[in-house]
Amino acid sequence: EVQLVESGGGLVKPGGSLRLSCAVSAFTFSTYSMNWVRQAPGKGLEWVSSIGSISTYTYYADSVKGRFTISRDNAKNSLYLQMNSLRAEDTAVYYCARGRFGGIFYFDYWGQGILVSVSS
């Protein structure tokens, strides 16, 4: 069974940093694009960032560009999101989501999500 498990969330002060991780299992990680999607409390889904299967390309929402960095380690079956200069509006549940091979970015499997709270 495909599994994605996020970790690394928590409470951080404005201007602070956090690194989210997503450990995956039961599929060949290195052949799929991977993604982060977030959902602020009571709000809709917001795409955050995507990365190709061998990190050839990365994409970011304008709201996080220059502050967040997506990366992956195919040897460790893991996806990461380094979040710097965090703002209150970054408060959300962050989901790791699997894309498809061939650079197709719809999301067929999702993790349970991890809460990031940015507050002083």
Q: Cβ closer to another protein: 6 or 12?
A: 6
State the minimum distance, in angstroms, from the CB of residue 64 to another protein: 11
**Contact call for residues 20 and 81 (beta carbons, < 8 A):** yes
Give the distance from CA 9 to its chain's centroid: 11
Q: Interface residues with another protein (CB under 8 A)?
A: 35, 37, 44-47, 50, 59, 61-62, 95, 104-113
Judged by CB, which is closer to another protein: 12, or 93?
Answer: 93
- 46 close to 24: Cβ distance less than 8 angstroms: no
Cβ-based nearer residue to another protein, 42 or 75: 42
Pairing status of strand 58-60 against strand 45-51 = antiparallel
